[in-house]
Structure 1
Amino acid sequence: MKIADLGDVHLHYRIDGAADGVPIVFANSLGTDLRLWDAVLPHLPSGLRIIRYDKRGHGLSSAPPAPYSMGALIRDAEALLDHLDVRDCVFVGLSIGGMIAQGLAVKRMDQIRALVLSNTAAKIGTPPIWQDRMAAVRSGGIEALADATMERWFSRDYRASADHLAWRTMMVRQPVDGYLGCCAAIAGTDFYTPTSGLRLPTLGIAGSEDGSTPPDLVRETIDLIPGSRFELMRRAGHLPCVEKPVEYAALLQRFLTDIGHI
């Protein structure tokens, strides 16, 4: 267990794989911690230095008072990568993690050489939608959103098993300030213009049954970046790395090979 003291926040992070390997960084979604990627890691190729972290207000990282700005979340990632002396990584971001990835790529091209934007967009939802969700959490806790969120997150087949209940529990156990803070960050973010200026290898991944960031929304964002590629994972929802980790890892490996990262 490692904690990076970044001044106004303490971030929990984990490094797996080869200590001297080429870096790949994973940023998880709202309401999850770095365990989101557990099932993918065993299927990744050797020679990678695999870095995961809990964003502020999630997992074992500290939870400053809400609200948060997307700029703060981007600075956290930037500071963590500087702390770990990471340059030229492939940054894999899912949902809000993909928004962080877009912002960091615009700000620090020395840190990022390629992006994987998974189940994300340049703009997710509308401010009124997020305001309604935040109001529900303030009155009823994260539990108030849990069942509806599971329906958006997971395919019908996956929800039929008990496995999704662990993710429901993970979501409701996140700090309320952290959840509200990140909701506010998403509500205030529109990256259409900065993302359209990016010029780096980019892979987009969407799930055919994603109720949070539907495939057309993901594709619209990926198409902003010239030369990008888009992959649709069938019968998967918002967290395809959970539902179909072997297939997800295969997409990552093919991308890493094609761009010469491994």
Structure 2
Amino acid sequence: MNILDLGDIQLHWREDGDPAGAPVVFANSLGTDLRMWDKLVPRLPQGLRLIRYDKRGHGLSSCPAGPYGMGTLVRDAERLLDGLGVRDCVFVGLSVGGLIAQGLAVKRLDLLRAMVLSNTAAKIGTQQMWADRIATVRKDGIEAIADGLMERWFSKPFRATPELRGWRNMLTRQPVEGYAGTAAAIAGTDFITPTSGLTLPTLVLAGSEDGATPPDLVRETAGLIRGARFELIRGAGHLPPVEKPGEYATLLTGFLTAIGHH
């Protein structure tokens, strides 16, 4: 188990593949931990250095008191990469992880040579929507929103499988403070202007059944970045690496090959 001690926070991270390989870094969604990428990692080409981590307030990382700012989440990622000696990585961010990717690209272009924005946008939801959700979670716990989130996260066929229970458990076992703190960071983020100035190679992925960041919203964000490529994964909800890991791996591998990242 790898814990990086940054002083004010300890981040849990994991590395697969070749430690000397071209780095690919993964940042997951609100309410999940780094196991979100478990099905994807074995399907990626050999020889890459695959790094994933738990955001503050999630998984096995520290859970300081919230609310968190997006700048803090971006800085956590920046310090993780600096701490691990990572440069010129491809940063794959899903949902809030995609916001972190955009913030990192604006702040530290030396760390990223390309990014994959998955099931995300430059601005996700409204401040009022997030305020309502935070209030509910603080009053009644994550359990109170779990069933609604499962509908937004996963397609109907996937929700009928036994596996759904594991993802629901992952969500409800995240600390309320970490969930609410990260939700506050998303609520306060509007990256439309800074993201529209980005020109690094970008692959943008959406799920056709995504109820959290619908395809049209994701497509709009792709339109902000010059030369970005947009791909729709059919039959997948908000977490395509879970529902359609094979297709996700094919798209990601194709992108890495196209930019010569191997």
TM-score bucket (shorter structure): over 0.9
Offset at 1:196?
0.3
Q: Which runs of 5+ in 1 are unaligned?
A: none
The Cα offsets for residues 171-199 of structure 1, whole Å up to 9 and x where unpaired, read as 00001110010000000000000000001
User: Residue in 2 aligned with 1:232?
Assistant: 232
TM-score by length of 1: 0.99
User: Residue in 2 aligned with 1:73?
Assistant: 73
1:154 partnered with 2:154:
yes
User: Residue in 2 aligned with 1:121?
Assistant: 121
The Cα offsets for residues 210-229 of structure 1, whole Å up to 9 and x where unpaired, read as 00000000010011000110
User: Residue in 2 aligned with 1:26?
Assistant: 26
Q: Which runs of 5+ in 2 are unaligned?
A: none
User: Residue in 2 aligned with 1:57?
Assistant: 57
Which whole-Å CA distance do the structure 2 matches of 1:189 and 1:8 have between them?
23
The Cα offsets for residues 129-155 of structure 1, whole Å up to 9 and x where unpaired, read as 000001110111010110000000000
Q: What residue identity is the alignment partner of 1:78?
A: E
Aligned CA RMSD, in angstroms, stands at 0.5
Offset at 1:65?
0.1
Q: What secondary structure sits across from 2:224 in the alignment?
A: coil
Q: What residue identity is the alignment partner of 1:151?
A: E
Offset at 1:164?
1.2
Q: What secondary structure sits across from 1:49 in the alignment?
A: strand
The Cα offsets for residues 28-87 of structure 1, whole Å up to 9 and x where unpaired, read as 000000000000011100110000000000000000001000000000000000000100
User: Residue in 2 aligned with 1:164?
Assistant: 164
User: Residue in 1 aligned with 2:206?
Assistant: 206
Q: What residue identity is the alignment partner of 1:239?
A: L
Offset at 1:19?
1.2
Q: What residue identity is the alignment partner of 2:234?
A: R
Q: What residue identity is the alignment partner of 2:193?
A: T
Q: What secondary structure sits across from 1:87 in the alignment?
A: coil
Query: Which aligned pairs between 1:100-115 and structure 2 lie closer than 5 A?
Result: 100-115=100-115
Which whole-Å CA distance do the structure 2 matches of 1:250 and 1:50 have between them?
16
Q: What residue identity is the alignment partner of 2:120?
A: T
The share of aligned pairs that are identical, in percent, is 70
Q: What residue identity is the alignment partner of 1:38?
A: D
Which whole-Å CA distance do the structure 2 matches of 1:6 and 1:103 have between them?
20
The Cα offsets for residues 195-214 of structure 1, whole Å up to 9 and x where unpaired, read as 00001000000000000000
Which whole-Å CA distance do the structure 2 matches of 1:148 and 1:37 have between them?
22
Which whole-Å CA distance do the structure 2 matches of 1:135 and 1:101 have between them?
27
Q: What residue identity is the alignment partner of 1:126?
A: T
Which whole-Å CA distance do the structure 2 matches of 1:6 and 1:75 have between them?
11
